[in-house]
Structures are given as structure tokens and as C-alpha cells.
């Protein structure tokens, strides 16, 4: 009987490895940029076409490769970074597994041009699907140029799973920003479809952050720095007032390598305790330098997770460093026992003595006595010295006449309607509410109970209002007719370049819901009109949640995107659990819910109400 276990061919093994290394075009960008950094480059250019599906090209001015190395770099497990197993715990470079180039060459058309500085001629290699097509001597500039074309050309199933160009390009920008933030001493340029998206000259850490996220970021940064035997820590955190509900501007770098760590993130959140609003998270750019033998970076295929030798000490150091910086720069409240100079006695008054005030009292004064009954001494003193009290009494004797005619008649008072303090607003217009025969009741500020013929119906107020708003927003986006309320003073909101691009993409759909954009610039937007049911205070939270929802899973088609926008806005603007509703608002939710096309479920496919019949109640009491 023949064996059933066989060795895989090299090209099949490379394609399987490519599935782990290359998940999307952004994975190729990450690997090529890291190789360019390891080549000791000072200038790196990234050229992308159609979000990397057509072309990904990385050009650097590094040390380059010779003829043998240029051919050998595409073999599996071929690397210049390590020689022995012990080298895995003394890594100072990024790419070290030796699978990246072999995996990329297995699923794309790759073209390599490289030359070392001491050589006059370079090497030009063309590979298509792990097959060497040509290798020639060529005149090329110093450094290396990798061109990856037609990604996943031989794996159409994987190519079909790619998202839209906008989605894939955002992932490329994320990888580009992570490498650029880790190496501010290197110049980075990004081109997409012939347009320059980023041009970041060599600078310091603060300048690099400002260059990526906009000039207004500079005033938000609070520097942190701490040096111990365990870790050398430096970077910046954002002031608490600029915290967002999304997790956009949060970066950890360990030995200039971007990582994700929920444990370290919790340490930063603990330092901000008491300074943030509910649901908000701070931004930070924190760089940690640790001895290579104290970390293990070979526990994840994408190398974004790291295992630390002493996590508890690192947690305490990071938390105290952030908390100290927030207090040092007067961001957090602190106790200061130093003497306040403003409380000192002025110099001119130091030599003067203290004089006690004197008080003169008329012991014969009787407020209930008439002027004729007053003692002779009081009358004489009044006529001679002038009693100020009696003059005030005469002057104010007819004070009631000042208000004659201002008080309304009794019948006018009885006809006036006073607004109760408990009613702060209404979700629905009076014309929209039909008064049913049966009343509604609110339970625990969460459910609305209404009797029906067969029993009663229990409605989840938040989910029901989400369904109402969702269908309303979706209808407005589709019909493209919605009224707006104009603002007296336009709102100016700041965002980074990636968020601005996303808002620009959503702008037509937002305008159909009632938003009016006066300007959309590189780092800010100007809004002069809002939907009728959106207040100025809700705009920032609404747009942040909308950006966060779309960044997590951006739809491909325009209809799906409009659907996601309507869902996100409905979720943000719906009445939340714990909101006390008036009887009119409860009736409005009930009537509007059952006027919807699909009242049974919320936009997120969760039930909005349940019914309980009289028979069900009778069964409960029959036990």
C-alpha cells in the first residue's frame, strides 16, 4: 500500500505560506517597507496603483544587494538577519523569517532592481508566480526597487475576497503610518494613482506626528519620558479634552516596531482615570526601548504582538510615567503645597497698623413709633442732623405704585399654561402623534408597555427608536430630500487626513440626511447646517462613531455604505436605556414603530418588542 503523506511542491508550499504572510495588499507594503528600513535607507518612496491590486512599488536608497543575494532573497527561509536560533532573542531588525519575498513572488509578478554603492552595474530580476523569467545586468540607481504587480493573479479566489479600493488603500495608509512614525529620521513619500498623498521629510518624533496627523495635532501633545533599568520610555499622549470614542490615534512601538497590546493600553487608561468622559479613549504615541533578550517577537505571524519578560513592572512604569506627565504639564489636577505669592500682603501695607472700625448706634430709635411719638432728642436730631432713615421711609412710601398695571388680571393667570420642569423636550411633533384609546406605561426607563386586545405588548424603547430613525435616514438618503436647520455660527471640526478622506467619501450621503458642508479641508471640516433632529452637541460624537463604524468594516457598494451610515446615525441618535419619556413620547414611539416597514426587529436584527397574551398571564397565575 502506497503512502498517503507526500511532500508538497515548492510553489504550493509558497502559496500556502503566502496565505499567512500576505492577506491583502497592505501586507506586501508592510514587508517591503520594513526591508527598506533594514537596508539602512534614508529615503523611501511607496508607489501604489488601484490600492495595490495593480502595482506596489517600494524604492529606497539603501545598501542594495549583489547578484547572488538578489537571486537568493526569493528562496524560502533565506534571510540576512539571523544565523542561529539564539539570534531570535537578539533582534535589532524587522524582517527575519525569510518568507516574505518568497511568498510575495509566489502570488504576483515581481520585478527587482538593485545595485550596491561600490558596483557600477546592478541586477534586474523578473519573477512570475515563483518562476524566474529573467535575470540581467542593468544600469540602475543605488539601492533597491521592488515592483509587485497583479497581486493574487494565480489565486482568483483570494483576489475576489479583497474589499473596495478605498478600503484596501486605508489599510495601506495604516501600515505606511506605522512604519513612518517608528522612523522619523527617514524620509517617506507615498503616491497613489499618480497623486502625492504624503511627503514626510526627515524630522524628530513630534514633527513626524504633526506631519501625518495635521498641524493642529501639535497643541494636543503632552510629552512623556522615563528612563529605568527595565525600559526607556518616551513619546507623547494627547490631552484629555481631545479624547475620542474611537481608537484611531493609539500607537505603541517597542524597539521601533509597531505592536498591539491590550495590557499596555490598560495602563494608559489607568493613568487617565478621572480625566475622561464615559466611553472616550485617549490618543498616544509611546515608544519603548527594551533589551532584545527581554522580549519575544516571534509569537505572531504579523509580528504585531510581543511577549514581555516582566509585564507587571512595565505596566507600573508606563502608568506612572503618563500620570506624571499629565500632572507636570497641568493637565491633571495636583496638590501643590507651595506658598502662593498672590496671597502675600502688598509691600505698601506692610508697615501700616490695623485700625478697628467704629460703629455708632442710636439707642433711642424705635421702628414702630410715629414721628410725633418719637422722643424730643430724636426729632431734634432729625431736624438738625437729618435722619437718613426717615427720608428713605418717605421716599419709598409709595413703592407699590411703581408696579401698578404690571400684574395680570386673575382670569389671565388662570388661562396661562406653565411648562413642567420634568419635560425638557419632545421627540415628536404634536401633529405626528395620534392619541390612542389606551395609555402607555414606561418600566425601568427601558421598556414601554401598551395594552392590546389580546393582552399587552412590551417594547424596547432604544431598539424601537433605532428602527424608526433608521428607516427615516435611509429614506432621506434614497429620496435625497431632507430639510436642514441652519447654524448661526458654523461648526469647525478637526480630523486627520484619513478621517477627512472618509468624510469626503460619505459627504453625499450625509448631505442627503440634512448636513450642509461649507468646506472640507486637509485637516478640518466646516458645517453650517444640521439635520432637524441633531443638535450641535451631538455632531462630534455622531461623526466620530460614524467614522469608527465605517473604519471597522467599510462596505463595497454605495447602497451598503448608505445602509451603514443610516444604521450608525440611528444608533447614535436613538433614545438610550435610562431615558425618562413623557406619555406623548411613549405614544409617539409606539405609533411610529408600527408605521415602519419592518417593526419586528431593529436595524441590527434584534427584536424590538414582545407580546404577552391574556392566556399567558392566566397560565402564570394558575401555578
Q: Which domains does the chain have, with CATH numbers?
A: 10-200 (3.30.565.10), 206-328 (3.30.230.10), 441-610 (3.30.1370.100)
Q: Name the nearest CA neighbour of 374 among 358, 389, 359.
A: 389
pLDDT of residue 202: 93
Confidence of residue 145 (pLDDT cuts 50, 70, 90): very high
Indicate if the pLDDT at residue 554 is higher than 70.
no
Q: Residue 537 — pLDDT band, cuts 50, 70, 90?
A: confident
Q: Count CB-CB contacts under 10 A for residue 246.
A: 19
pLDDT score of 212 more than 70: yes
pLDDT, tens digit, 9 for 90 and up, residues 43-55: 999 999 998 999 9
pLDDT average, residue stretch 188-207? 92
pLDDT on residue 58 = 94
Half-sphere exposure of 152 (CA within 13 A, CB side): 18
Q: 19: pLDDT confidence band, cut at 50, 70 and 90?
A: low
pLDDT tops 90 at residue 565: no
Q: What percent of the chain has pLDDT over 90?
A: 24
Q: Kindly state the average pLDDT of the residues 607-618.
A: 89
What is the mean pLDDT of the segment spanning 38-42? Answer: 90
pLDDT at 475 over 90: no
The better pLDDT of the pair 475, 45 is held by: 45
Which of the two residues, 563 and 417, has the higher pLDDT score? 563
Cβ atoms of 167 and 188 closer than 8 Å: no
Structure confidence at residue 106 (pLDDT): 86
Average pLDDT across the chain, whole number: 79
pLDDT at 192 (0 to 100): 92
pLDDT digits (tens, 9 = 90+) for 69-111: 888 888 876 665 555 455 455 555 665 455 778 888 888 999 9
Q: What pLDDT, on the 0 to 100 scale, is given for residue 111?
A: 93
Contact 172, 52 (CB under 8 A): yes
pLDDT tens across 231-254, in order?
A: 899 999 998 888 887 777 899 999
DSSP 3-state assignment of 421? Answer: coil
| 536-552 helix and 497-513 helix, angle to the nearest 10 degrees | 110
Q: What is the mean pLDDT of residues 569-591?
A: 88
Residue 288 has pLDDT above 70, yes or no: yes
Q: Which of 77-86, 347-356, 440-449, 569-578 has the lowest mean pLDDT?
A: 77-86
Average pLDDT over residues 176-191: 94
CA atoms of 295 and 30, how far apart (whole Å): 21
Residue 186 predicted with pLDDT over 50: yes
Is 90 exceeded by the pLDDT of residue 177? yes
Q: Is the pLDDT of residue 41 over 70?
A: yes
The per-residue pLDDT for range 384-400, each reduced to its tens digit, is 444 544 555 555 555 55
Query: How many Cα atoms occupy the beta-carbon half-sphere of 412 within 13 Å?
Result: 4
Q: How far is CA 524 from CA 283, 491, 501, 506, 612, in A?
A: 18, 10, 11, 15, 52
pLDDT over 50 (residue 381) = no
Query: CA 483 → CA 457, 512, 570, distances in Å?
Result: 34, 9, 17
Banded model confidence at residue 430, pLDDT cuts 50, 70, 90:
very low
- pLDDT at site 1: 45
Q: Is the pTM of this model over 0.85?
A: no
Q: What is the pLDDT of residue 421?
A: 46
| H-state helical runs in 289-375 | 311-328
Greater confidence (333 vs 159) lies with 159
- pLDDT of 306 higher than 70: yes
pLDDT at 96: 47
pLDDT value, residue 437: 53
Q: Which residues contact 529 (CB under 8 A, 6 or more apart)?
A: 484, 485, 486, 487, 514, 515, 516
Q: For the chain, what percent of residues have pLDDT higher than 70?
A: 76
pLDDT value, residue 245: 75
Residue 371's pLDDT is 59
Question: What band does 339 get if pLDDT is binned at 50, 70 and 90?
Answer: low
pLDDT at 182 over 90: yes
Amino acid at each position: 500500500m502506497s503512502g498517503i503523506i507526500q511532500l508538497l511542491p515548492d510553489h504550493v508550499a509558497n502559496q500556502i505560506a503566502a496565505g499567512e504572510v500576505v492577506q491583502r495588499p497592505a501586507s506586501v507594503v508592510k514587508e517591503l517597507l520594513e526591508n527598506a528600513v533594514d537596508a539602512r535607507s534614508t529615503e523611501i518612496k511607496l508607489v501604489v496603483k488601484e490600492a495595490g491590486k495593480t502595482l506596489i512599488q517600494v524604492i529606497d536608497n539603501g545598501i542594495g544587494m549583489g547578484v547572488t543575494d538578489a537571486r537568493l532573497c526569493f528562496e524560502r527561509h533565506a534571510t540576512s538577519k539571523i544565523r542561529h536560533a539564539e539570534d531570535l532573542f537578539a533582534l535589532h531588525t524587522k524582517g527575519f523569517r525569510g518568507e516574505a519575498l518568497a511568498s510575495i513572488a509566489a502570488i504576483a509578478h515581481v520585478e527587482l532592481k538593485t545595485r550596491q554603492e561600490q558596483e557600477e552595474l546592478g541586477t534586474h530580476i523578473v519573477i512570475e508566480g515563483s518562476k524566474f523569467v529573467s535575470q540581467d545586468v542593468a544600469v540602475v540607481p543605488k539601492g533597491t526597487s521592488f515592483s509587485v504587480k497583479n497581486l493574487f493573479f494565480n489565486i482568483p479566489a483570494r483576489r475576489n475576497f479583497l474589499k473596495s479600493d478605498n478600503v484596501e488603500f486605508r489599510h495601506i495608509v495604516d501600515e505606511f503610518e506605522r512604519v513612518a512614525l517608528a522612523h522619523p529620521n527617514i524620509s517617506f513619500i507615498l503616491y497613489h494613482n499618480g497623486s502625492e498623498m504624503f511627503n514626510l521629510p526627515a524630522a524628530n518624533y513630534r514633527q513626524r506626528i504633526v506631519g501625518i496627523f495635521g498641524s493642529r495635532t501639535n497643541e494636543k501633545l503632552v510629552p512623556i519620558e522615563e528612563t529605568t533599568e527595565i525600559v526607556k520610555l518616551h513619546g507623547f499622549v494627547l490631552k484629555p479634552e481631545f479624547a475620542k470614542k474611537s481608537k484611531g490615534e493609539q500607537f505603541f512601538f517597542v524597539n521601533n516596531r509597531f505592536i498591539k497590546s491590550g495590557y499596555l493600553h490598560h495602563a494608559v487608561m489607568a493613568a487617565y482615570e478621572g480625566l475622561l468622559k464615559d466611553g472616550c479613549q485617549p490618543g498616544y504615541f509611546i515608544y519603548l526601548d527594551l533589551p532584545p533578550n527581554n522580549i519575544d517577537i516571534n509569537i505572531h505571524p504579523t509580528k504585531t504582538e510581543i511577549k514581555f519578560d516582566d509585564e507587571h513592572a512595565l505596566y507600573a512604569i508606563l502608568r506612572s510615567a503618563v500620570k506624571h506627565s499629565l500632572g507636570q504639564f497641568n493637565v491633571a489636577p495636583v496638590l501643590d503645597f507651595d506658598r502662593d505669592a498672590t496671597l502675600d500682603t502688598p509691600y505698601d501695607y506692610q508697615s501700616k497698623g490695623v485700625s478697628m472700625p467704629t460703629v455708632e448706634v442710636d439707642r433711642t430709635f424705635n421702628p414702630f413709633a410715629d414721628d410725633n411719638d418719637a422722643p424730643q432728642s430724636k426729632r431734634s436730631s432729625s431736624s438738625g442732623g437729618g435722619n437718613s432713615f426717615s427720608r428713605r421711609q418717605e421716599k419709598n412710601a409709595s413703592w407699590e405704585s411703581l408696579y401698578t398695571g404690571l400684574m395680570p388680571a386673575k382670569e389671565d393667570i388662570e388661562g396661562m399654561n406653565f411648562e413642567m420642569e420634568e419635560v425638557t423636550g419632545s421627540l415628536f411633533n404634536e401633529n405626528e402623534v395620534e392619541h390612542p384609546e389606551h395609555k402607555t406605561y414606561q418600566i425601568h426607563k427601558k421598556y414601554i408597555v401598551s395594552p392590546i386586545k389580546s393582552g399587552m405588548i412590551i417594547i424596547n424603547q432604544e431598539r424601537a427608536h433605532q428602527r424608526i430613525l433608521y428607516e427615516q435616514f435611509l429614506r432621506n438618503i434614497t429620496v435625497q430630500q431632507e430639510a436642514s436647520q441652519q447654524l448661526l455660527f458654523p461648526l469647525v471640526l478637526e480630523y486627520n487626513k484619513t478621517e477627512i478622506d472618509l468624510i469626503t467619501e460619505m459627504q453625499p450621503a450625509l448631505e442627503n440626511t440634512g448636513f450642509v458642508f461649507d468646506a472640507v479641508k486637509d485637516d478640518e471640516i466646516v458645517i453650517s447646517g444640521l439635520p432637524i433632529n441633531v443638535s450641535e452637541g451631538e455632531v462630534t460624537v455622531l461623526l466620530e462613531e460614524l467614522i469608527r463604524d465605517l473604519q471597522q468594516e467599510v462596505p463595497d457598494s454605495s447602497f451598503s455604505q448608505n445602509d451603514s451610515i443610516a444604521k450608525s446615525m440611528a444608533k447614535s441618535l436613538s433614545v438610550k436605556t435610562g431615558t425618562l419619556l413623557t406619555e406623548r413620547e411613549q405614544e409617539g414611539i409606539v405609533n411610529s414603530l408600527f408605521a415602519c416597514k419592518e417593526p419586528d426587529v431593529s436595524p441590527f436584527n434584534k427584536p424590538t418588542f414582545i407580546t404577552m397574551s391574556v392566556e399567558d398571564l392566566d397560565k402564570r397565575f394558575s401555578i
